[in-house]
Structure 1
Amino acid sequence: MTKIVSKPNCGNSPKMEFLKEFNIAFAKGNVEFITGNVTDEIVWNIIGNKKIEGKEKFTEELEKMKSEKVSELIIDQILSHGKEGAASGTIKMQNGKEYAFSDFYKFKGAKGAKIRSITSYVIGI
C-alpha cells in the first residue's frame, strides 16, 4: 500500500486539488485516471532522460512504470495559475530508491483540467 503525505492545503483551488489527485494516481499506477486527464497531443519531457509525445506513447510509458511500486509519496508543494501548474515532493520506492521531483504542467485551457504537457525534473536522493 502506498503511503500518501500531502502538505499543501488545496481546499479552495480545484486545479490544485486536481494536481494532488494526478500525482497520487502516478504513485499508485492508476493509468486510467492519468490518461483520462491528458490531451491526445500530450508531451511529457523528462529532463535529461526522454521526451514522450502523444497519448499512445504516453500510455505505453505509464504501463512500463507500473512495475516499479511506490511505497510513499510526499507532496511538498502544489502551485496553480491560469493554464499552468506545478508540483514537487519526494517518492520512495519499494526497492529502497528515493527521488525528488518537480513537475510543471500546462493545461489545455485556464478552465479545463486536461493536461497538454508535463516537464519533469527527477533526481535520485
Structure 2
Amino acid sequence: MAIRIITEPNCGNAPRHEITRRFAVALASADTSELELLVSPDAEWDILGKLSCRGIPAIIESAGLSPASVELRVLSVITHGREASIDGEVLYENGHVMNFCHVVRFANAAKTAAITRIRTYQASSNR
C-alpha cells in the first residue's frame, strides 16, 4: 500500500537530505527493497525505550511490526557530514499518530554511503 508523503521541497544541494527522507519513507511503509538499498547489512537500530536490533533482517522485521501507515509528514531534515536527522509524524491506518525523530549515521562521507546507525525517538500524539 502506498502512503501519502507530505514534505517541503529541498534545494537539491544536500544528497543526504533525500537519502534520509527515503529512509523514513521506507521505514514507515516497511519497504524491504528500499531499506536493503539504504541500510548497511550490519546496521544498528535503537528505538529508545522500546527495541534494539542489529542487521538488515532484524531492522526489516522490526519495521514491519508497526500498524499500516497511511501518511508520513516530514517536518524537517538536517544533514551534516556523516550524520543526519529527520523529524516528522506518521499517521497509521487505525488513526494513531506517532511523532518521530530518526538520527542516522552514514558509513562515511561519500554521497552514496549506507546508513550504519539509527537512533529513533518516538512519542504518540493526537493531531
Displacement over 6 Å in runs of 4+: none
Q: CA deviation at 1:120?
A: 0.1
Structure 1 residues 77 and 8, CA, compared in 2 at 3 Å: closer, same or farther? farther
Secondary structure of the residue aligned to 1:64 is: coil
Aligned residues: 123
Q: Give me the CA root mean square deviation.
A: 1.5
Identity %: 26
Q: Which residue of 1 aligns with 2:89?
A: 90
Structure 1 residues 18 and 41, CA, compared in 2 at 3 Å: closer, same or farther? same
8 Å Cα contact 1:10-1:17 kept in structure 2 = no
8 Å Cα contact 1:10-1:16 kept in structure 2 = no
Q: Which residue of 2 aligns with 1:49?
A: 50
TM-score, normalising length: structure 1: 0.89
Q: Which residue of 1 aligns with 2:23?
A: 22
Amino acid at match of 2:51: K
Amino acid at match of 1:52: C
TM-score, normalising length: structure 2: 0.88
8 Å Cα contact 1:8-1:77 kept in structure 2 = no
Secondary structure of the residue aligned to 1:9 is: coil
